[in-house]
Amino acid sequence: MKRRFGFFGVLLLILCNSLLHATGPSHLLIGLTPVSLNARGALLCKTVFLANTLGISGFVPITYGWAVIEPSGLITRYPWLSLDPYEMDSDEQIIAEYEMAYQTVHSPIDFSNPPASLKHVLSEYGFSAENTGEFLVNQTMSYMDFIEAYKLDRDSMMQFTINEGHSLHYYDSVLVAYDFGSMLILRNTLDPVENTLMGAKFGFGDFGEEEYDSYSISGVVFLR
């Protein structure tokens, strides 16, 4: 059975089967969704990583997990679930497993009965409740206003994300999603359809600048 799958939303095949054999822009998705802040200022996040380098439409491999971000600048990943449609036996299995993962990831965490993949993280760091809502700001500002508001050094201030990602340079606008006092969560977006260019361009590890037609990247700025 020949398949061509890509990703612009986890349920794309369900919602738009007509795109099953279409191609589009390449896309990078790196999501950090804050869940819990502990007494020491460490932050628990849900994570998602997807790199659709060919821009094919449908489902492509995706990895969900957890990350603990500490005010010291340390980001520790705890991968949880990886889905690869090319290793599944049927379209029905693909749709069922991707939909189940999507619903699981987007549901609130029951801290009294957490997922097995999270139990040791909660035990080690003492996260006990979903309590990040009060830190949500979702404020868009110019890059210069951002630098001034948070008293950042333009020459040394960097933004970090999972997979050894780091900012290379900033554009004119910045979206601050969360402000935790010791760290900020920013949303970086390149969307040619919506004509959106927000935040920073990223590089990863030793590979320099990653070239994608579109991307959505959550990044962390540590405030010293």
Query: In tens digits, what is the pLDDT along the chain, a chain of 224 residues?
Result: 333 333 233 333 333 332 344 467 899 999 999 999 999 999 999 999 999 988 888 889 999 999 999 999 999 999 889 999 999 999 999 999 999 888 888 899 999 999 888 999 999 999 999 999 999 999 999 999 999 999 999 888 899 999 889 999 999 999 999 999 999 999 999 998 888 999 999 998 654 556 889 999 999 999 97
Which class for 188: exposed (0-12), middle (13-18), buried (19 or more C-beta within 10 A)?
buried
Predicted confidence at residue 209, as pLDDT, reads 57
Predicted confidence at residue 57, as pLDDT, reads 81
Cα separation of 35 and 22, whole Å? Answer: 36
Predicted confidence at residue 77, as pLDDT, reads 94
Predicted confidence at residue 155, as pLDDT, reads 80
Is residue 162 a contact partner of residue 49, using CB atoms and an 8 Å limit?
Answer: yes
Closest CA to 216 of 26, 88, 16: 26
